[in-house]
Structure 1
Amino acid sequence: MTDPHVDRDVLDTLREVMEEGYTELLETFLADSESRLDELRDGISAKALSDVAHSFKGSASNMGAIRLAALCQDLESNAKDKSPEALAQLVADIRSEFASVRPVYENEKRHLHTH
């Protein structure tokens, strides 16, 4: 069963490759995501939103957060063409998508500490 939100294969690969560094990677991703969400909320310009979306897309993609990466891609590519309402909606979608994948990464962290 493939998860439309998180590509588990990516996480499995990261876990194998990173070994000890995997927990730190998860923590960094969660912390960076929080700060990027704050930056998106405070985004003053389309350019600022696009820049944050670009870096967020990269980390989401590296971490297998497929739908989050796709939403960030949309924001990055279309920030300057969207109305303020549409931008606000897309930022809200990014926030809710992160909220739905966050437990996956929290669980990954917990799972590591129990082994």
Structure 2
Amino acid sequence: MDDTHVDRDVLSALQEVMEEGYPDLLDIFLADSEKRLSVLRTADSAALLVETAHSFKGSSSNMGAVRLTELCHQLEQQASSLPVNGVQELVREIDREFASVRPLYEAERQRCPAKI
């Protein structure tokens, strides 16, 4: 995994704490991230952008997605003051970053099959 995007130590710690729940945690993060990205793409208010960026930042941070956390933090801080095209560019950056890390989390998920 690329350490500039994902902190392996965070994932290792989560795996230790979550044990059998770890694969589910990865699935939930991926699914929730897709939903949050969809909201960010279509948000029609600064308040919705701020709220969504804040929750996305929290989950990204919990999952060790370093760059995604930074970008969500920027959007959370600047959504109210940036012009619309600035917000859209930041959302596109978040989109691109998630597209970069999603395969890393999917690979991690494949590495840790759910216990039956």
Shorter-normalised TM range: over 0.9
Structure 1 partner of 2:73: 73
| TM-score, normalised relative to structure 2 | 0.95
| Cα shift readout 1:34-87 (whole Å, capped 9, x = no counterpart) | 000000011101111010000000000000001000000000011011010100
| Greater per-residue helix proportion | 1
In 2, Cα distance between equivalents of 1:25 and 1:113: 12
Deviation of 1:112 (Å): 1.0
Partner of 2:89 in structure 1?
Answer: 89
- Length-normalised TM-score, structure 1: 0.96
Please give the alpha-carbon distance, in whole angstroms, between the structure 1 residues aligned to 2:43 and 2:63. 24
1:3 Cα deviation from its structure 2 partner: 1.1
- Aligned mates of 2:98, 2:63 — CA distance in 1: 12
Q: How many residues are paired up? A: 115
Match of 1:6 in 2: 6
In the alignment, which residue of structure 1 is the partner of 2:62?
62
- Three-state SS of the structure 1 residue aligned to 2:4 is coil
Identity between Structure 1 and Structure 2 (%): 56
Q: Which runs of 5+ in 1 are unaligned?
A: none
The equivalent of 1:48 in structure 2 is 48
1:36: which partner in 2? 36
Instruction: Please identify runs of 4+ aligned residues in structure 1 that moved more than 2 A.
Output: none
Gap regions ≥5 residues in structure 2: none
Q: Which residue identity does 2:94 align to in structure 1?
A: I
Match of 1:106 in 2: 106
Amino acid at match of 1:9: D
